[in-house]
């Protein structure tokens, strides 16, 4: 008569067995330890893996041997159904949530400084060559009909010399982004809605400011964090190296980029997720893009590029 059944603690088995009927082929189990990496659960012995914990636990063993009723000291129960051996404590990755954004500095503690610019030799050569080839064809500063006024919040387009006699209602100050609030420094009408901020009518009347280059608000860009740096790639061909200006106070960054060999201009504003060090940052102008290489105050990965009070 078979003896009383006992529990097998081999990983992947979980069955009960009779000690009197336990041979080298009785148990099908995983001899290797479990391994967890990038959401995958993996058996090290056979490399069977899954992102679903239940599916992973249900994988049959890959090795035959004897059942074992010896319970390892570090076995823990999972969902009161299966048992696995956990990783050692110093190998366990602890998730504490996303990195938090930098604390917003008060306005009086902010001072914008220019960031140094490095020009790739091939980018400079391309612009110089373009200028030489078009010097005789385009020396005129004549404005095209439809050229928009560059003053903030003015929607007037150039319709001829008489346009200069019309009033220009605009914001002479700078756009300020602070702790989720958007406002113009000249009149300080504050809002959290970006659309409402853009639609605020100007607070001062003056003279229109037109430019031959087309104003482009949206350009293709991406960013990444690595080695204590945040790099923003702004993809624009033919950036005019002596008409690129980038300033930052460590949290707000402003970039004026004239590109397409002078035919287009983009004014970009970034309310950065974290804090950067302008004096240790660099702008690199290449033939097809402008790289904003920003030194992080705290070298941590950013979940997004810009600060958003609703998600902080």
**What is the mean pLDDT of the segment spanning 133-156?**
74
| The pLDDT value given to residue 88 | 47
Q: How far apart are CA 225 and CA 97, in angstroms?
A: 18
What distances in angstroms separate CA 311 from CA 50, 163, 180, 274, 303, one per listed residue?
Answer: 31, 44, 10, 14, 11
Q: Which residues contact 214 (CB under 8 A, 6 or more apart)?
A: 260, 263, 264, 265
Q: How far apart are CA 223 and CA 88, in angstroms?
A: 35
pLDDT value at 7 more than 80: yes
For the stretch 202-212, what's the b/e string if a residue is b when 16 or more beta carbons lie within 10 angstroms of its beta carbon?
Answer: bbeeeebebbe
pLDDT value at 157 more than 80: yes
Q: How far apart are CA 155 and CA 133, in angstroms?
A: 34
pLDDT value at 239 more than 80: yes
| The pLDDT value given to residue 179 | 67
pLDDT value at 59 more than 90: no
User: What are the domain boundaries of the chain?
Assistant: 6-91, 102-131+215-312, 143-211
Instruction: Please give the class, per CATH, of domain 143-211.
Output: few secondary structures
What distances in angstroms separate CA 70 from CA 4, 12, 25, 67, 150, one per listed residue?
Answer: 16, 15, 18, 9, 79
Cβ atoms within 10 Å of 183's Cβ, excluding its own? 19
Lowest-confidence pick of 21-30, 129-138, 190-199: 129-138
Of 143, 132, 304, nearest in space to 232 by CA: 304
Task: Say if CB 102 and CB 273 are below 8 A apart.
Answer: yes
| pLDDT grade for 44, boundaries at 50, 70 and 90 | confident
Task: Say if CB 277 and CB 295 are below 8 A apart.
Answer: yes
Of 121, 208, 202, 127, nearest in space to 162 by CA: 208
First to last CA, the chain: 68
Q: How many helices (H) and strands (E) does the chain have?
A: 3, 23
Q: How far apart are CA 118 and CA 33, in angstroms?
A: 52
Q: How far apart are CA 312 and CA 306, in angstroms?
A: 11
**Element containing residue 122 per DSSP (H, E):** helix 121-134
| pLDDT grade for 262, boundaries at 50, 70 and 90 | confident
| The pLDDT value given to residue 79 | 39
Instruction: Tell me if domain 102-131+215-312 and domain 143-211 are identical in fold.
Output: no
Q: Which two tokens stand for residue 126?
A: 């391309």
Question: Domain 6-91 falls in which CATH fold?
Answer: 4.10.1130
Q: How far apart are CA 291 and CA 219, in angstroms?
A: 13
What is the percent of the chain with per-residue pLDDT over 90, rounded to a whole number?
Answer: 31
Q: Is domain 102-131+215-312 classified as CATH 3.30.70.1560?
A: no
Q: How far apart are CA 190 and CA 260, in angstroms?
A: 35
Comparing 50 with 276, which gets the higher pLDDT?
276
| The pLDDT value given to residue 254 | 93
pLDDT value at 99 more than 50: yes
Q: Tell me the pLDDT tens digit for each residue of 165-189.
A: 899 999 988 787 776 788 888 888 8
Cβ atoms within 10 Å of 155's Cβ, excluding its own? 11
């Amino acid at each position: 008569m078979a003896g009383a059944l006992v529990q097998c603690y081999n990983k992947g088995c979980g069955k009960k067995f009779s000690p009197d009927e336990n041979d080298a082929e009785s148990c099908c189990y995983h001899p290797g330890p479990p391994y967890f990496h990038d959401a995958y659960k993996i058996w090290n012995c056979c490399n069977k893996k899954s992102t679903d914990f239940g599916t992973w636990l249900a994988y049959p063993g890959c090795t035959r041997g004897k059942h074992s009723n010896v319970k390892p000291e570090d076995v823990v129960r999972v969902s009161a159904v299966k048992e696995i051996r956990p990783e050692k404590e110093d190998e366990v990755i602890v998730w504490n949530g996303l990195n938090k954004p930098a604390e917003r500095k008060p306005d009086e503690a902010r001072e914008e400084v220019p960031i140094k610019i490095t020009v790739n030799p091939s980018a400079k050569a391309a612009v110089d060559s373009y200028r030489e080839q078009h010097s005789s064809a385009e020396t005129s500063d004549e404005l095209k009909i439809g050229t928009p006024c560059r003053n903030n919040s003015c929607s007037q387009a150039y319709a001829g010399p008489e346009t200069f006699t019309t009033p220009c209602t605009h914001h002479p100050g700078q756009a300020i982004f602070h702790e989720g609030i958007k406002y113009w420094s000249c009149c300080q009408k504050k809002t959290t809605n970006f659309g409402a901020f853009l639609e605020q009518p100007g607070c001062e009347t003056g003279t229109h400011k037109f430019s031959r280059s087309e104003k482009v608000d949206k350009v293709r860009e991406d960013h990444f964090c690595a080695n204590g740096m945040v790099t923003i790639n702004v993809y624009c061909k033919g950036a005019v190296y002596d008409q690129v200006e980038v300033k930052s106070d460590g949290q707000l960054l402003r970039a004026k980029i004239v590109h397409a060999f002078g035919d287009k201009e983009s004014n970009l504003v970034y309310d950065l997720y974290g804090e950067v060090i302008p004096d240790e940052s660099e702008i690199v102008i290449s033939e097809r893009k402008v790289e904003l290489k920003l030194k992080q105050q705290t070298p941590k990965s950013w979940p997004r590029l810009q600060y958003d009070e609703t998600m902080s």
